Amino acid sequence: MKLSDIAKATGLDYSGDGSIDIRGVASIDDATEGTLAFLADPAKKEELMLSGASAFILPEGVSCEGKPYMVSNRPLLAFADVVGLFYPRPQPKGVDARAIIEEGVSLGDGLSLYPNVYIGRGASIGDGVSLYPGVYIGPGCTVGEGSTLYANVVVNEGTAIGKRVIIHGGTVIGSDGYGFAWDGTCHRKIPQVGGVVIGDDVEIGANCTVDRATLGNTIIKRGSKIDNLVMVAHNCVVGEDVLIVSQSGLAGSAKLGDNVIIAGQVGVAGHLTIGDGAIIGPKSGVTKDVEAGAKVTGYPPQPHREWMRIQNTIQKLPEMRKELRALHDKIERLEKENHEA
Amino acid sequence: MKLSDIAKATGLDYSGDGSIDIRGVASIDDATEGTLAFLADPAKKEELMLSGASAFILPEGVSCEGKPYMVSNRPLLAFADVVGLFYPRPQPKGVDARAIIEEGVSLGDGLSLYPNVYIGRGASIGDGVSLYPGVYIGPGCTVGEGSTLYANVVVNEGTAIGKRVIIHGGTVIGSDGYGFAWDGTCHRKIPQVGGVVIGDDVEIGANCTVDRATLGNTIIKRGSKIDNLVMVAHNCVVGEDVLIVSQSGLAGSAKLGDNVIIAGQVGVAGHLTIGDGAIIGPKSGVTKDVEAGAKVTGYPPQPHREWMRIQNTIQKLPEMRKELRALHDKIERLEKENHEA
Amino acid sequence: MKLSDIAKATGLDYSGDGSIDIRGVASIDDATEGTLAFLADPAKKEELMLSGASAFILPEGVSCEGKPYMVSNRPLLAFADVVGLFYPRPQPKGVDARAIIEEGVSLGDGLSLYPNVYIGRGASIGDGVSLYPGVYIGPGCTVGEGSTLYANVVVNEGTAIGKRVIIHGGTVIGSDGYGFAWDGTCHRKIPQVGGVVIGDDVEIGANCTVDRATLGNTIIKRGSKIDNLVMVAHNCVVGEDVLIVSQSGLAGSAKLGDNVIIAGQVGVAGHLTIGDGAIIGPKSGVTKDVEAGAKVTGYPPQPHREWMRIQNTIQKLPEMRKELRALHDKIERLEKENHEA
């Protein structure tokens, strides 16, 4: 692809020789001849000299001597567009004869249903959906148009998945919530008869679990992005455009507002509310509600700066203890002196 | 279903019009006409007025004006019974021709073996077992009567599963224990040739891992309930009626007594013993044995109240440090005064 | 198998009756007649008297009265050899007709391809590879000779797996890295078009996730061993002979040197470097680079001994606070006395 064609397709301006051939994209470190790389941070512009790339996407105000480049005020987004040119969405594969489709299933057009897919009775699969081998779709579930479920994803009965949703391999949606009641002899199972609703443009990583609601629905709203190995328990509500990083877990009925960010390995206790735009730092244990816009870290969580100050002070604890003893001795001496005086 | 029939089937008394039709169950907030909801906490009885439910299960001592209700001293258990009436156990589906059953497998009656199930040589599947698509049962394994293994569960060779066990999607039983020995050049694998034994009425969540023993068995005893994404390592013994919440992990040869409760995101180090009825708080790191009946939290764990007291004091550390410096200055001044005097 | 034959096959010396029959291996506690057990720790030699084993592997300097035994300066490694005699690598099963193999796949000799395996176009499967039911191999992937992928492992497009690699059930390799950029309206997906390279003799536990690189490769080098439910994010580099214990996670672009050990439930932040031979204690949150050979624990990590000292001091915080108040009062009294004097 000519650089001038790439620039045209992505709506960017370019400087230098637009006729050079670009055969792929690469990171600035690994780039070889014929590739295009991007620079996000103007402070690292000396990396351009060392890079083997044949052309660049540069942030505004940065230029490159001797090589052609395009300029964007959002180089990462521009790069995402360029990558999309080189890796277009694959053509639909059709419905493989070895995909297993039970009675009463509604199938859209332009599907990629691989071998060993299982679709239960009465499920509804929208246009352009891709289901990789080993995907299980329970009876009556819906999968909205343009969604992709990678290999061995499990979608249990009672789940509704929106449009353009991506779910990575091995993730389980709609497993039973963890609900038991001690009856004096054993833990009796509380039947989990609710469902799961996943909004448009949600992405869920690999080997996650999203439990069905006890009653009603567990809900993940439009545009939220969930990393790998995350647990979303029964009756949780995850707002719009939320980010949840790997290995975090939400306990039952936790409610996240819109634009919340949960860093990695965080735990959120049950029935809590985290307000719009709040940010929870890594490895936090959230034990109480968090206000909209708050930035908290720790277990229990504190304002992020306060948490940092406390962590720094903790390092000095043994020294503080020593000093406390020294003061104690000095005071005893002073008391003795005063007493003698 | 008439309310009077529900009351009869569950052995509860009712007040009001028993002839009304109940078409389903709902949570008190979401309930619509024709549904039955329950109230667990008498303090929240004002929610009854706002609820759209047509009837209720109420705790003893609470009544409801204008709508019929049943009374129970354990409303949650009573509700579980009612839910069971509306969602009866599904009828067996039979053995699908696309289930793959190797030689010498023993199959009980009333099975639901879905397409793409794989059962290895010599395995034994009890009456009324349900195996969903993509379930793998290794050679020689046994699955006791009435058990349900959801889609894509993996049960490796050497596993014995009891009766009425439920295992949710994607869980792997009988993977190799993590055992290596450095031989001077590389980490040599210690062959893991033990098995896994899972008792009756155990429930294991989605995407968990239960490793086989190096020698002997990893054991999960009767009635224990394990949440999603939990790790049980080689040679662990989990007692009866234990609860382990999501994303917790037991290292090799950890032993839990009966009725232990492990909250979420806890780690238990190897070869430790946790006594009967002990409760481990969320995110704890258990580094030493825990006595029966103890309630501990933290890393290392402390008695739960002590842990709370320490966490509260930690918040005050920066302030303590400031105060320590102030005392230091005052003492210097006093010493100087005494010296001058 | 006669004890003398076992000794010969493993190159060990033995004492006592070499003609006895050994029918299996066992742990020293559970051993029954006809089994061979091993003792690693000379301090526990009294366990020999109580063990039902018919013969032992003992560390140098330990002997056993009345029963034959072999001696090794590395009893665990010797035991691993003996176990290998009793559980030889199974014979290849061949290529099952119900394995699904797309066009252009290259297949080696001596394979075990089970039913319901899926191998995408142009993939390459080396000699002696075992793929269990439900394994998915994406288009163009390579699996080196002698590797074993257990049931329901997912290997996405763009993955190269070395020789003698073991991957346990449910693990997902090559899922998309977690990369998004806010475009003012929503989180735009950064296409993840890199791959994953897994070196020879790597072992990865059950239900792990290893994400593909954004560009370039996520790399796990020769001989590294990863436990269950571990997360390796996009563009990570894991050195040779690294150990990563269960439920730990590496964020994007983290780099581990050779022989690093990461204990359980650790989180490593993105773009950090952990030097060769460093050891990270359990549940740590690694927020900065770690030097080669360092032993650190905590969040943020400290030298392990320092961390222990701090943890011990934290227990005494409430007491320290009380003492601080007492000193404060004493100083006030002293100041008053001095003032009055």
Q: Are A265 and A286 in contact (CB under 8 A)?
A: no
pLDDT one-digit tens code per residue, B266-301: 999 999 999 999 999 999 999 999 999 999 999 999
Average pLDDT for chain C: 95
User: What's the rounded mean pLDDT across residues B168-191?
Assistant: 96
Interface touch B206/A154, C-beta < 8 Å: yes
Residue numbers of A annotated as active site: 234
Peptide bond into C300 cis (omega under 30): yes
* pLDDT band for position A10 (cuts 50, 70, 90): very high
pLDDT of residue C30: 87
Q: Which pair of tokens denotes residue A58? A: 């540069």
| Contact partners, residue B32, CB within 8 Å, separation at least 6 | B26, B52, B53
Kindly identify which residue of chain A lies nearest to residue B313, measuring between CA atoms: A310
Q: Are A284 and A292 in contact (CB under 8 A)?
A: no
Q: Are C294 and C303 in contact (CB under 8 A)?
A: yes
Q: Which chain C residues have a beta carbon less than 8 Å from that of A227?
A: 178, 231
* Interface probe, candidates B227, B243, B260, B312, chain A, greatest A C-beta count within 10 A: B227
Interface of A with C in 3-42 (CB under 8 A): 25-27, 29-30
User: What's the rounded mean pLDDT across residues A166-170?
Assistant: 98
| Entry pTM | 0.96
* pLDDT band for position C335 (cuts 50, 70, 90): confident
* Residue C285, pLDDT above cutoff 80: yes
| Nearest Cβ partner for C315 among B180, B214, B302 | B302
Interface of C with A in 281-310 (CB under 8 A): 285, 299-300, 302, 306, 309-310
pLDDT one-digit tens code per residue, A71-120: 999 999 999 999 999 998 889 999 999 999 999 999 999 999 999 999 99
Map B148-173 to HEC letters: EECCCCEECCCEEECCCCEECCCCEE
Spatial separation of the C-alpha atoms in residues A77 and C184, rounded to whole Å: 11
pLDDT one-digit tens code per residue, A23-77: 999 999 889 999 999 998 999 989 999 999 999 999 999 999 899 999 999 999 9
pLDDT one-digit tens code per residue, B232-268: 999 999 999 999 999 999 999 999 999 999 999 999 9
The reply to whether A118 touches chain B by the CB within 8 Å rule is: yes
Q: Which chain A residues have a beta carbon less than 8 Å from that of B114?
A: 118
* Residue A339, pLDDT above cutoff 90: no
pLDDT of residue C317: 92
User: What's the rounded mean pLDDT across residues C77-85?
Assistant: 93
* Residue B120, pLDDT above cutoff 90: yes
* pLDDT band for position A147 (cuts 50, 70, 90): very high
Map chain C to HEC letters: CEHHHHHHHHCCEEECCCCCECCEECCCCCCCCCEEEECCCHHHCCHHHHCCCCEEEEECCCCCCCCCEEEECCHHHHHHHHHHHHCCCCCCCEECCCCEECCCCEECCCCEECCCCEECCCCEECCCCEECCCCEECCCCEECCCCEECCCCEECCCEEECCCCEECCCCEEEECCCCEEECCCCEEECCCCCEEEECCCCEECCCCEEECCCCCEEEECCCCEECCCCEECCCCEECCCCEECCCCEECCCCEECCCCEECCCCEECCCCEECCCCEECCCCEECCCECCCCEEEECCEEEHHHHHHHHHHHHCHHHHHHHHHHHHHHHHHHHHHHHHC
- The conformation of residue A89, written as its DSSP 8-state character, comes to P
The reply to whether B97 touches chain C by the CB within 8 Å rule is: no
pLDDT one-digit tens code per residue, C166-183: 999 999 999 999 999 999
| Contact partners, residue B274, CB within 8 Å, separation at least 6 | B254, B255, B256, B257, B260, B262, B268, B280, B286, B289, B290
More confident residue, B125 or C45: B125
ipTM of the complex: 0.95
Spatial separation of the C-alpha atoms in residues A262 and A250, rounded to whole Å: 10
